[in-house]
Amino acid sequence: MDYCYFESPLGKLLLAGNESLESLHFPRGKTRKEPEKDWVYKEKVFLKALDQLYAYFKGELTRFDLELNIQGTNFQKRVWQELVKIPYGETISYGELAKRIGNPNASRAVGLANGKNPISIIIPCHRVIGKNGSLTGYGGGLEVKKNLLELEQRNKKMMNS
């Protein structure tokens, strides 16, 4: 497995994969991970992802265009494919996401799949919130989710003015 780091406003993100991006981990929270002993530091594998993350955090990129190697169940992959359709700077509820994948009674299962998203930020699971508008669980922690949403909303306002 290849890996590298990206210094973000949220802290040092860990990117990992074989020939393409498979996971992105936060420096804190449930998804925190350290490189394993047999992993190889190879920044060049992730240059496009690093460039796009840099542009995203500067407010210059609203949609990622990367080759991803996503590992998950068919249901999880359906949820994750729907996540990338949520517009930049906007949010939807877990129930709405369940409706969008054609299974309106599956909001809990959608929440679990959302929580297993291996490539946060790029697959924007932070854009899914509780039905009442509350911020609910996030692998990098609720403060990170809040910061990502605020970043996008602030940048979206600047783009529209």
Residues designated catalytic? 125
Kind of pairing between the strands at 128-129 and 92-93: parallel
Q: Check if the beta carbon of residue 3 is closer than 8 Å to that of residue 39.
A: yes
Question: Which residue is it, tokens 């959608």?
Answer: 110
Task: List Cα–Cα distances, 52 to 14, 72, 95, 119, in angstroms.
Answer: 15, 24, 30, 14
Q: Check if the beta carbon of residue 116 is closer than 8 Å to that of residue 23.
A: no
> Which of 40, 143, 125 has the alpha carbon at shortest distance from 86?
125
